[in-house]
């Protein structure tokens, strides 16, 4: 079942989501929500979806970066972004416990800011602790694009959109990003757009 993705301006996207208790995580209701979020993310398509994006203010997100999503990027772009496939998984009550001071900048979009993207600086690496869909504790060390996805989704759980972190003059339609900037280095885009 595909859920409705709420768009920027909806108040649920600007509030801190509530943590889930172990029994809530294991409940049929939460397990059903996870399944519907997975279907919604894949249908969109997207690489991550946080519960607030479907109108539910809970500390829960689903993530998956499928190989087929990499088809539009050439090998050099994939290497520059350190983008590799990420298997489907669920993060509940996540916390970033370590993040590199070094940042990288790339265009970033969001299913709740449909049709737009901007250059967003993110930490190159992060360590995240969370509970999985079985309420088991997990810890992941992520780098590159996976680290970006985690930071983006965890921001959603705190009421933060990428537009709060973007370089405002790089805000663009996805159509223009694809048409004008797809093959340009980010440094060149920043120089041209200021």
Active site residue: 80, 101, 153, 175, which one? Answer: 153
Spatial distance between the Cα atoms of 42 and 172, rounded to a whole number of angstroms: 24
Distances (CA, A) of 127 to 74, 97, 116, 147, 180: 28, 6, 28, 8, 34
Q: Residue 119 in 3-state DSSP?
A: strand
* Residues 62 and 37 sit within 8 Å (Cβ to Cβ): yes
Q: What are phi and psi of 110, to 5 degrees?
A: -155, 140
Q: Token digits for 109? A: 């979009």
Q: Is 105 a catalytic residue?
A: no
Please identify every residue annotated as catalytic.
Answer: 153
């Amino acid at each position: 079942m595909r859920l409705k993705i709420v768009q920027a301006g909806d108040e649920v996207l600007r509030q801190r989501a509530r943590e889930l208790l172990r029994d809530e995580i294991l409940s049929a209701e939460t397990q059903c929500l996870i399944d519907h979020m997975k279907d919604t993310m894949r249908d969109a398509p997207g690489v991550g979806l946080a519960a607030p994006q479907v109108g539910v203010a809970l500390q829960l997100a689903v993530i998956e970066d499928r190989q087929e999503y990499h088809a539009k990027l050439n090998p050099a772009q994939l290497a520059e972004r350190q983008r590799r496939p990420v298997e489907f998984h669920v993060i509940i009550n996540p916390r970033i416990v370590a993040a590199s001071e070094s940042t990288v900048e790339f265009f970033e979009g969001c299913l709740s800011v449909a049709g737009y993207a901007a250059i967003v600086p993110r930490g190159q690496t992060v360590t995240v602790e969370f509970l999985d869909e079985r309420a088991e504790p997990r810890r992941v060390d992520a780098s590159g694009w996976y680290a970006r996805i985690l930071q983006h989704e965890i921001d959603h759980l705190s009421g933060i959109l990428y537009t709060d972190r973007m370089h405002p003059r790089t805000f663009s339609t996805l159509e223009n990003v694809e048409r004008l900037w797809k093959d340009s280095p980010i440094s060149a885009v920043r120089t041209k757009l200021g």
